[in-house]
Structure 1
Amino acid sequence: MADEPSPYRTGMTALIVAVPEAEPVVGRWRNRYDRSASAGVYAHITVLIPFLDTDRIDTAVVGELTRIFAAHREFVTEFRRTARWPQMLYLPPEPADPFSRLTADVVTRWPDCPPYGGKYADTSPHLTVAIHQPDPILDQVDKNLTNHLPFSATVASVDLVAFENRAWHHRHSFKLSR
């Protein structure tokens, strides 16, 4: 994994929901098998990547994001099971709809920012645990995680993070309404 080129570039931003409740369950696996963890991103569910480059984010954009996310209510989600896509193990949040609505509202405002750059047909909300790994590794991680599920998380905000100097850095948090 260390020899692969980074999928991130300086100036790239993302909107993510932190899931600190997941760290005790997935942290050790993410640190080994998810490049975003070693680049400074905590356990999360992606709302939108890539978002606007850092040079396009100004006070007006921050204001619009504040308004968009404040229109959504805080919610609780649960992680009950693991799931897979090719070479990837993840935890699907239940319910997933509140995450999908966050994404849809941002994309409605910025249609030039499709999820994952439009690369994937299925952009269902998920918490990545291991990615770009062969099945035996995914099997090992899956077996370990099953013993630590379910757990729940409260979603109260969305974070804007930016990639600079080979790492992701927190830039802003947007509160959901109570």
Structure 2
Amino acid sequence: MLTVADFVAGETALIAAVPEAEPVVGEWRSRFDPSVAYGVPAHVTILYPFLRADRIDAGMLADLRALFAAHAPFDVRFSGCGRFPEVLYLAPDPGRPFADLTEAVAARWPEAPPYGGRFDEVVPHLTVADGVPVDVQDTIEAGLAAGLPVAAHVSSVSLHSYDGTIWRNVACFPLGEPS
């Protein structure tokens, strides 16, 4: 389970917010996803942790803008759930566009591998519950079923920074729009 100790002031993340999912996952996330308490919206992570906030300058923001402009916006559906140990998530279909964004950022900034390099495979996902046992995941998954599928249009990626208390949106980068 996430706690404030899991986040370090100055960390940044690149995420694709999925506001269309909030009506379906919002209540569950508020109860079972600790990141909600730190201002994190329903999203698919593109890259976390990214670079330290003190490394982000106008040039890097321009580079991020150009990188994301090279990728087209896309539609996605969340029709079912997937699981990691103690984590229940909505699985995006297609997941490839999210993976393409992750791979592009990681290739440009190899010093910032996804999840700090902890996993061999990065699986795009929208976390609904974190740190919960299987029986609770079963209950949540059954509760989500009536609200699925969720259709969404992903048109941007946001840079968020943790200030020691909350995650704040620092910049938004449109997909497919040259600067």
Fold match by TM threshold 0.5 = yes
Match of 1:146 in 2: 145
Determine helix, strand or coil for the equivalent of 1:82: strand
Shift in Å, 1:5: 5.3
Question: Within the alignment, does 1:72 sit opposite 2:84 as a pair?
Answer: no
Cα distance in 2 for residues equivalent to 1:28 and 1:78? 20
Determine helix, strand or coil for the equivalent of 1:41: coil
Question: Within the alignment, does 1:15 sit opposite 2:25 as a pair?
Answer: no
Question: Within the alignment, does 1:108 sit opposite 2:107 as a pair?
Answer: yes
Match of 2:56 in 1: 57
Cα distance in 2 for residues equivalent to 1:169 and 1:37? 12
Deviations 1:27-77 (Å, cap 9, x if unpaired)? 011111111111101000000000010000001100000000000001100
Give the residue type in structure 2 aligned to 1:144. Answer: G
Cα distance in 1 for residues equivalent to 2:166 and 2:13? 13
Match of 1:176 in 2: 175
Aligned length: 177
With structure 2 as the length reference, what TM-score do the two structures score? 0.95
Determine helix, strand or coil for the equivalent of 2:27: helix
* Cα-Cα RMSD: 1.3
Question: Within the alignment, does 1:27 sit opposite 2:22 as a pair?
Answer: no
With structure 1 as the length reference, what TM-score do the two structures score? 0.96
Identical pairs, percent: 45
Cα distance in 2 for residues equivalent to 1:80 and 1:128? 14
Deviations 1:87-110 (Å, cap 9, x if unpaired)? 110011100111011011101110
Give the residue type in structure 2 aligned to 1:30. Answer: R
Match of 2:82 in 1: 83
Check whether the contact 2:161–2:167 (CA below 8 A) recurs between aligned residues. Answer: yes
Cα distance in 2 for residues equivalent to 1:151 and 1:5? 30
Runs of at least 4 residues of structure 1 off by over 2 A?
none
Shift in Å, 1:151: 1.5
Cα distance in 1 for residues equivalent to 2:47 and 2:86? 21
Cα distance in 2 for residues equivalent to 1:6 and 1:32? 19
Q: Which runs of 5+ in 1 are unaligned?
A: none
Question: Within the alignment, does 1:99 sit opposite 2:111 as a pair?
Answer: no
Determine helix, strand or coil for the equivalent of 1:165: coil
Q: Which runs of 5+ in 2 are unaligned?
A: none
Determine helix, strand or coil for the equivalent of 2:6: coil
Check whether the contact 2:28–2:140 (CA below 8 A) recurs between aligned residues. Answer: yes
